[in-house]
Amino acid sequence: MINLYWKNATEKVVGPEHGLTSEDLAGVAPSVEAAHAALMDQVRHGQPGYTALPDHPSYPSQVKQLAARFRENTTDLVVLGIGGSALGAIAIQNALHPATYNLISDKKRGGPRLFVLDNVDPALIADTFKCLRRRLETTLFNVISKSGETAETAAQFMIVREMLRERLGDKFASRIVATTDAEKGTLHEIARQDGYATLPVPGDVGGRFSVLSPVGLFPAAMTGVDIDAMLAGAVAMKQRLANPKWRENPACVLAAVKVLMFNRKGKPLHVMMPYSNRLYMLADWYRQIWAESLGKRLSVDGQREVFTGPTPIKALGTTDQHSQVQLYREGPNDKLVVFLEVDKHPADVRIPDSFADVDGMAYLAKSKLSKLLAAEKSATEYALAVSKRPSVTLRFNGITPQSIGEFFYLYEFVTSLAGEMLGINTYDQPAVELGKQATFALMGRKGYEEQAKEMKPILREDKNYLA
């Protein structure tokens, strides 16, 4: 189970200027209660779409059936996707498998190696395909795109399709799974014509909220993750978050803390700092869902410019104690830190009693690394508090499929609540579209000629500004 501890974000610890006061909490209560009531009313009608995923009646069985079909004849799984089509798979893999997963032998690993190509960096693509060239007949490519027209994923897919056709001939389609719109779209049509196995991208779920759909579940199931347990964790969290008593509801409290810190306490930067390498990629997933959902120019009715949204940042304990905490303690007091803490790690190591006569090292002897890591987290928490820097902690009892499912649903719900409280549309991303259109124009896509002309004055290089 995940619990939220938030005392260090209050005036009791960091003072009334930077911490939440009883007046702040009383003032935010109507807003968070109204946001929760509005969201729960939507949930009763099956919206937002992500809220129906933990207990979806058919997605898990579809995923497991397809995974069972491919696991025995697949040594390598390559996910082609970007943003929400990739970050969830990466976070699950990083959390629930050892860091050395891809280095374990095929016989002992228990599932295919996983490569997630979430960029079009040519060296990344070339290096990965070079690594897989001798195993192409047993490599499965999972292309994930609702429409199929996202430039990065489309380019990757075109390369893969041709590579497979050259090697496998008419059998190339047997090594592609398309996760896409179930009824329409470019990739849907290509999959139907070529004969790929397919999985659905829910039509009412945006990419950044799709991790508990086949988008995230299929790569997880292929590598042996217990997706039923992960979904059960999400269901348990969904039930907890139905509680209307907001001070007992971790999503309501976390949303209230975050919005108050942003609106009232001058904290526009929200850092997620896991004290576990296994949880580090959860911070990457968080950055997208938080930034793309809450960074908005217009109010929800489209009538006012609000330019709102806390900026998400990721850090890693203890690594970033030695790079970022200096800034966090003595730089501008403009940050809220969200620690991720683990009670029981998947593995532990004891420090030997090697230097009993060396004062600077003897204190570490016979301790476990888990104890040292916990002490480092508490020490950072204390140091921030002394400097009047607020923080909260999400405590994981362990890193399990259940707790990862809990985390995903919790933060999706917190994001929705924060959007309600900020008065914006949480689910659109209009600012992303211009970049997509500009890419189409620069790559010569038909219909974007005027866009290309508009771009020329800005993109034309002026050597007067070349240093």
How many residues are listed for the chain in this entry? 467
For the segment 162-176, what is each residue's pLDDT rounded down to a tens digit? 999 999 999 999 999
Over the chain (467 residues), what is each successive 10-residue block's mean pLDDT? 97 98 98 98 95 97 98 97 97 98 94 97 97 96 95 97 97 98 96 98 96 98 98 98 97 98 98 98 98 98 97 98 97 98 98 92 96 98 98 98 98 98 96 92 94 94 93
Q: Is 3.40.50.10090 the CATH number for 2-41+231-422?
A: no
Residue among 220, 10, 217, 186 at smallest CA distance from 112: 220
Question: Please, what sign has the CA dihedral across residues 115, 118, 124, 130?
Answer: positive
What are the structural domain ranges in the chain?
A: 2-41+231-422, 52-227
User: How many other CB atoms sit within 10 Å of the CB of residue 182?
Assistant: 13
Q: Which residues participate in catalysis according to the annotation?
A: 292, 322, 436
User: What's the per-residue H, E or C state across 388-408?
Assistant: CCCEEEEEEEECCHHHHHHHH
Cα–Cα dist 111/101, whole Å: 10
First to last CA, the chain: 54
What tokens were used for 104? 């374990």
**What does the pLDDT read at residue 110?**
86
Query: Side chain identity at 416, as an amino acid letter?
Result: S
**What does the pLDDT read at residue 433?**
87
Name the CATH code of domain 52-227 (choices 3.40.50.1370, 1.20.1050.10, 3.10.450.50, 3.40.50.10490). 3.40.50.10490
Q: Give me the chain's average pLDDT, please.
A: 97
**What does the pLDDT read at residue 356?**
86
Strands 269-274 and 311-314 turn out to be: parallel
Q: Inter-axis angle of helices 186-194 and 151-168, to 10 degrees? A: 10
For the segment 361-392, what is each residue's pLDDT rounded down to a tens digit? 999 999 999 999 999 999 999 999 999 999 99
For the segment 197-252, what is each residue's pLDDT rounded down to a tens digit? 999 999 999 999 999 999 999 999 999 999 999 999 999 999 999 999 999 999 99
Contact 81, 144 (CB under 8 A): yes
What tokens were used for 107? 């016989």
Cα–Cα dist 192/65, whole Å: 19
**What does the pLDDT read at residue 78?**
98
The CA–CA distances, whole Å, from 151 to 119, 154, 439 equal 10, 5, 8
